[in-house]
Amino acid sequence: MDIKDFIAPFAVWKRAFEKPFTVKKPIDERPGAPRYRGFHINDAQKCIGCGTCEAICMNKAIDLVPAAGYAAKEGDSGLRPRVDYGRCCWCALCVDVCPSGSLGMSNEYVWIDSDPEVFRYTPGVEAKPWDGSPLGYRRAEGYRLLEEQRVEMPELDYKEAVQTFLELVRGYSRQQAEKEADRCVSCGVCIASCPAHMDIPGYINAVREGDMQNGLRLLYETNPFPEACGRICTHRCEEACAIGTGGDPVAIRWLKRYIADQVELADYGKVLPRAEADSGKKIAVVGAGPGGLSAAYYLALLGHSVTVFEKDSEAGGMLRYGIPEYRLPYPALDKDIGYIESLGVKIERGTAVGSAVALAELRSRFDAVYLSTGLPAAYSLEVPGDKHPRVLDGVAVLAAATRGEPLGLGKRVAVVGGGNVAMDAARTALRNGAAVDILYRRRKEDMPADPDEIREAIAEGASLVEKAIPLEVRDAAGAIAGKQALFVWNEARMVQKEDGKRPVPEAIPGAVHEDPYDSIIAAIGQGPDLSFIGEADRLELRRFKPVVDGFGRIAEAAAGAAAEPGAPASASPSKAAAVFAGGDLVNDRKDAISAIADGHHAAQGIDRWLDRKGS
C-alpha cells in the first residue's frame, strides 16, 4: 500500500467533463446493424410456401397458413410462413435454410403494443413498417445450409455418344444417389405437379435411408414404369422443386431410376403387393403403351383378368417405338413390362383392334374395355411438296430405328419441329452419320422439347436453325431428282401481337432460304387414329377425342337413355361393355407420366364402375 493507492482513485473525476457514452433515446435513433436479426421480412411473391423454415425452427415458432392473394398452384403451395414472436429466438436458421431466399430479417427491433396477439404475423402478407427493408440479416454470400448444386450425372462423352446407341446417361452410384437425395427437404410441393402424384419425398427419403425395397413399393403405388419414367419422364416435378427456386432442382427423375435400377426384377415380387382375390371380371386394354399397361397393372392388382391388345410386335408403345434406345434401353423397358406381365396380364402382340379383332367383339367378350391408343398418326408439313419421297415422318423414322430397319437417311438431314420427337429424330440421324439441321419456327426457348434433349442434341452436333418457317419442298434438279429435296424456308422475326400471349413468328419479306437435303424429317406433332371406332359403337367423339366422364368412361351417343353410373346393367340400351379411354388420346399433356396416371385413374374408375354395375 503506497500513497498512489490513495490518490489514484481521484482520477475518476477527469471523466466528469467528458462527453457521456449514452445515447439519448428517443432523441437519438439507434438503428440495428446492417446484419441485425430483427423482425422477419418475406418476399411473398418469391416464397413458394415449402415450409422448410417451419421444419428447421427449433422453437416451433413458424406456422404455414393460407395467405390472401396466394392460391395453391403448381410449384407454390399458396401457404406462407407466420411467425409467433412469443416463441421466436431470432436465430435466423429459417433465413439460412429458405430454399428460395425469400425470407430475411429487417434490422428493426423496436415494436411496442399492448395486445400480445399482434406479435404473430405473416411477413410479406400482413404489411409492416419494416417491409422491404434493405438492411437486416440475410444469408451471407457463399453460405448455404442446403446444397444448391445437383450431383452431376455421369454421361457418355458426346463425341463418343453420337457414335453409338448406348445409353447416354449412366445413372447414379449409391454414393451419388444418396448425396443427391440428401438435397431434398421433403416439402412435397412437387407432388401436385406430378400427373401421377407420386410420393416423391417418400421415395427420395427411401434413397437417403438406403431402403430400396420401400422405395420401389412407393414407386409402384402410383407408377408401374419406374425404369422408363426414371429415364424419360418429362419431370414436371423438378420444375416445382423447392430446391430449384435457389439452385438446381433435386434430380427426382434420376433418383427414381436409381431405385428401380437397384432392385432385381426377380425381387420385385417380394416387395410389391398382389391381388388378394380374383374378381372374375375380364377387361380388355387396347394399346400396350405406358397408359394401357398402367391400367392393366392396377386392374390386375384389383383382381381383374386383363388382356392387352397391341398392334405392334412388341409392347411399350411410344416408349419403345418413339424413344431411341440411347435414352431408354430396351432391357429397362422390358423390366417394367416384364413385371406387369408377371402378374398375369396377357399381352396379345401384333393384334390390331379394328383389323384383327373388332372393338365390338371386345365389348361383347369383356366386361370393360380401356382404350389407350395414343397418337400414332404424324401430322404432315402442310406445305406444297410435302408428299415428296424424301419427306419422312419422324415417328416412323424412330420406329424403323427400333425395329432395326435400314433408315437410308443420307448425308444431310433436316428435321422440322421443336419437340422431343424432333430431337430424337435428329439424334438418331446423327447416330446414322448424317449432318443434321433442326429447323424450328420459333426461338429455342419456345421449343416444347425437354431442355436436356435440346442441349444434348446440340452437344452431339446438330445445328439449330431458329425462326425458320417452312414454305415449300421442291424436288432437286438433275441426276439427284427424287433422291434429294430442296427445303425452302422463310426467316422470321418474333412479333408480340397480343399482350400476355407468347410472340408469334412473322416471315421477314425476302429472307427466303433454299437448302438441299437427302431427307427432310417432319416432326411437328401427331394425331390419333380412331379408325377402329365405328358408327355402330355409338361412342361419343369430339374433335377426334373421346368424351370421357369422371370414371374415364366414354360417353355413349344417346340412343335411348344413356347409361347412368350406378344404373343396373340391364337398364343400359347397349349390352356391350362400357368403354373407357385415357392417355394421349384424351389428355392434353401428351406425355408418358400423364398416360400412366390416366391408366391408374381409369383402373380405379373401371373397378368402381364394375362394382356399381354389379351391385
Closest distance of CB 552 from other proteins, Å:
12
Cα–Cα distances in Å, from 530 out to 44, 208, 534, 575? 48, 46, 9, 22
Give the C-alpha separation, 237 to 566, whole Å. 36
Residues 98, 125, 189, 241: which binds other proteins (CB under 8 A)?
189
Q: What is the CA radius of gyration of the chain?
A: 31
What's the rounded Cα separation, in Å, for the pair 421 and 427?
10
Question: Which residue's CB is nearer to other proteins, number 73 or number 159?
Answer: 73
Asked if 142 interacts with other proteins (CB under 8 A), we say yes
The whole-angstrom separation of Cα 42 and Cα 82 is 10
Burial class (CB in 10 A: 0-12, 13-18, 19+), 272: buried
Of residues 302 through 361, those in contact with other proteins by CB under 8 A are: none
Least distance CB 127 / other proteins (angstroms): 20
Site for other proteins in 154-183 (CB under 8 A): 182-183
CB of 600 to other proteins, least distance (A): 10
Residue appearing with cell numbers 390386375 = 300
d(CA 543, CA 60): 54
Q: Which stretch binds other proteins (CB under 8 A): 71-79, 121-129, 390-398, 529-537?
A: 71-79
Task: Name residues contacting other proteins, limited to 353-372 (CB under 8 A).
Answer: none
| Alpha-carbon span 471 to 461, nearest angstrom | 25
- Euclidean distance between CA atoms 150 and 154, whole angstroms: 12
At 83, give phi and psi (nearest 5°): -105, 135
Toward other proteins, which CB reaches closer, 184 or 434?
184
Q: Which is nearer to other proteins, 22 or 531 (CB)?
A: 22
Considering only 61-69, 251-259, 298-306, 419-427, which stretch makes contact with other proteins by CB under 8 A? 61-69
How far is the C-alpha of 345 from the C-alpha of 349, rounded, in Å? 12
Tell me the three cell numbers of residue 485. 429435296
Considering the complex, state which of residue 509 and residue 550 has its C-beta at the smaller distance from other proteins.
Answer: 550
User: Judged by CB under 8 A, does residue 12 bind other proteins?
Assistant: yes
153 counts as binding other proteins under rule CB under 8 A: no
Query: Which residues, numbered 534-553, are part of the site for other proteins (CB under 8 A)?
Result: 550
191 lines the binding site for other proteins (CB under 8 A): yes
Beta bridge partners of 393: 522
Q: Hey, CA dihedral for 545, 550, 554, 555, is it positive or negative?
A: negative
Q: Binding pattern to other proteins, positions 109-128, x when CB under 8 A?
A: --------x--x--------
Distance of CA 131 to the CA centre of its chain: 35
CB-CB contact of 80 with 125 (8 Å): yes
**Nearer to other proteins (CB atom), residue 92 or residue 585:** 92
Tell me which DSSP letter residue 473 carries.
E
Sites for other proteins among residues 197-216 (CB under 8 A): 197, 201, 208
* Residue 71 C-beta: closest distance to other proteins, Å: 7
Cα distances from 355 to residues 248, 359, 535, 606, in angstroms, run 49, 9, 16, 25
CB of 202 to other proteins, least distance (A): 10
Q: Which is nearer to other proteins, 410 or 565 (CB)?
A: 565
Question: Closest approach of Cβ 511 to other proteins, in Å?
Answer: 45
Is 400 a residue that touches other proteins (CB under 8 A)? no
Please identify which residue in 9, 26, 500, 509 interacts with other proteins, judged by CB under 8 A: 9
x/- map, 23-42, other proteins, by CB under 8 A = ---------xxxxxx-----
Q: Which is nearer to other proteins, 45 or 496 (CB)?
A: 45
Query: What span, in angstroms and rounded, lies between the C-alpha atoms of 365 and 97?
Result: 59
Could you tell me how many residues of this chain bind other proteins (CB under 8 A)?
A: 73
Q: Is the peptide bond before 26 cis (omega within 30 degrees of 0)?
A: yes
Please say which residue, 142 or 478, places its beta carbon nearer to other proteins: 142
Contacts with other proteins, 73-112, as mask; x by CB under 8 A: xx--xxx----x-x--xxxxx--xx-------x-------
Position 571 contacts other proteins (CB under 8 A): no
Scan residues 585-614 and list those touching other proteins (CB under 8 A): 604
17: contact with other proteins by CB under 8 A: no
Q: Determine which residue in the list 145, 166, 477, 508 makes contact with other proteins, applying CB under 8 A.
A: 145
SS3 (DSSP) at 79: strand
CA-based end-to-end distance of the chain: 109
Give the up-direction half-sphere exposure of residue 178: CA atoms within 13 A in the CB hemisphere: 8
